[in-house]
Structure formats: C-alpha cells, structure tokens
C-alpha cells in the first residue's frame, strides 16, 4: 500500500501577519504634518473670508442702489437711498416718494431711517441692506447721507460733490468705494492706499 501523500499546503510557509492601520509613530507624524499645514493655511483662509465679506456687502449695497434707480423710473416716483447707523452697525435703505393725490404731482422722496423696521419702503416692500453675520467686520462710511434718484431718467437728483461711499474690511487692509455718478450709474473701485483684489480698478 502506497504511503499517504502529505497535503499540498503542508510545505507552505505561513508569513507572519501584520495588522492593518497606523502605528502610534505614524499617527503622530501625520498629526504633526497636518497641524503644520493648517497653521500655514490659516492666514490665507482668514484673508479669503475677509475679502469675501467685504465684496458681499458692497455687491448687496450696489444691487440695492440699482434697484432703487430702476424703481424710480418704473413707478415714476423719486426714490431716496439713505445711509444710517454707525460705521460698524450700518444700514442702507431705499424709500419711494408718496403717491400723488388727485390732480397732483408725486411728493418728494424723503430720507428714511433704515434702523426702523417700519421705514424704507417701495411699493410696500422694505428694501434695506444691513450689517450682520454675513458681513462681519465690514465697516461703512455713513456720512454720505441721502441720495435721490430722479423719477424720469434715474439720474442722481441731488448731485453731491464726491458722492462716494467707502466700505472697509475688518483688518482695514482692504476697502472698496462705490461712486454714484451724476447719471445714476454706480462705479466700484479701490481707494488709494488699500491692497488690490478681485480685479477692481483703482479709484
């Protein structure tokens, strides 16, 4: 009777099993590298969000002004755009002239208090842009007072010399100025002495 043959796997050498995952040393190295990368990236992220908040505030204010100008022509009513609050807790609101009485012309557009929830209305809709979490750290020069868009052509009725409003970022490194032209157009530019960004031209 022939001797029994050993199983095919009898001569297979078993390799030592190595567990999967990180060793403690590898984990510490990974955490250290990530910490260094995050420390290097933190200023860039902060700078990015600072510019984004400033751009967002200016975009919203310019959009409000463009809307006010369009509503003045559409409704045949002068529309006033008023700045209020403080440089840190600022607001901008639009207010249309009152409807005319019988056989009378439309009334004058009057300034509104954008800090008052019952003011700054056009056709019953409240049009206000205000400082808040979205624009955290953005300050606004509110000394420009009130601008009035004409009901016929949408031009700037009360032509103010240097009708320009400046918004600044939290650090003061970035600033944007929007200049309201006599024809009613709004131009956005970077004031002298501030860092350039976003492709905006210099003032």
Per-residue confidence band for 1, with pLDDT thresholds at 50, 70 and 90: low
According to the model, what pLDDT value does residue 28 have? 72
198 versus 163: which is more confidently predicted?
198
Question: Which of 156, 150, 127 minimizes the C-alpha distance to 77?
Answer: 150
Share of the chain above pLDDT 70, in %: 75
In the chain, where the domains are located = 47-189
Average pLDDT over residues 25-32: 71
Q: Is the pLDDT of residue 19 over 80?
A: no
According to the model, what pLDDT value does residue 108 have? 77
Average pLDDT over residues 66-95: 93
According to the model, what pLDDT value does residue 98 have? 83
Give pLDDT tens digits for 97-126.
Answer: 987 655 545 667 888 999 998 999 998 999
CA-to-CA distance for 42 and 71, rounded, in angstroms?
43
- Is 84 strand, coil or helix? strand
The b-or-e profile of 71-93 (16+ CB within 10 A means b, else e) is: bbbebebbbbbbbbbeeeebbbb
Give pLDDT tens digits for 133-153.
Answer: 899 999 998 777 889 999 999
CA-to-CA distance for 174 and 53, rounded, in angstroms?
11
Strand residue runs (E) in the chain: 79-85, 90-96, 121-122, 125-126, 128-130, 139-140, 146-149, 164-168, 175-180, 186-189
> Of the ranges 20-24, 41-45, 159-163, which one carries the lowest mean pLDDT score?
159-163
- Whole-number mean pLDDT of the chain? 83
According to the model, what pLDDT value does residue 13 have? 56
Beta bridge partners of residue 202, listed in sequence order: 190
Beta bridge partners of residue 94, listed in sequence order: 81
Q: Is the pLDDT of residue 161 over 70?
A: no
Instruction: Mark residue 128 as left, alpha or beta (left: phi above 0; alpha: psi -120 to 50; beta: remaining).
Output: beta
According to the model, what pLDDT value does residue 143 have? 77
Q: Work out whether strand 90-96 and strand 128-130 pair parallel, antiparallel, or are unpaired.
A: antiparallel
Instruction: Mark residue 102 as left, alpha or beta (left: phi above 0; alpha: psi -120 to 50; beta: remaining).
Output: beta
Look at domain 47-189 and name its CATH class.
alpha beta
Q: Is the pLDDT of residue 159 over 70?
A: no
């Amino acid at each position: 009777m022939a001797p029994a043959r050993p199983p095919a796997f009898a001569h297979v050498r078993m390799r030592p099993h190595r567990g999967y995952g990180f060793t403690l040393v590898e984990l510490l190295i990974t955490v250290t590298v990530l910490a260094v990368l995050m420390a290097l990236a933190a200023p860039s992220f902060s700078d990015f969000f600072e510019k984004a908040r400033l751009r967002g505030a200016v975009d919203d204010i310019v959009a409000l002004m463009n809307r006010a100008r369009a509503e003045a022509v559409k409704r045949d009513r002068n529309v006033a755009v008023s700045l209020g609050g403080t440089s840190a807790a600022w607001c901008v609101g639009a207010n249309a002239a009152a409807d005319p009485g019988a056989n009378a012309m439309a009334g004058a557009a009057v300034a509104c208090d954008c800090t008052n929830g019952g003011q700054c209305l056009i056709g019953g809709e409240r049009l206000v842009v205000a400082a808040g979490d979205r624009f955290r750290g953005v300050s606004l020069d509110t000394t420009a007072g009130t601008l009035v868009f004409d009901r016929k052509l949408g031009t700037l009725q009360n032509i103010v010399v240097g009708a320009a409003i400046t918004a600044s970022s939290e650090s003061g490194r970035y600033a944007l100025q929007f200049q309201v032209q006599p024809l009613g157009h709004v131009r956005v530019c970077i004031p002298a002495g501030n860092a350039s960004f976003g492709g905006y031209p210099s003032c």
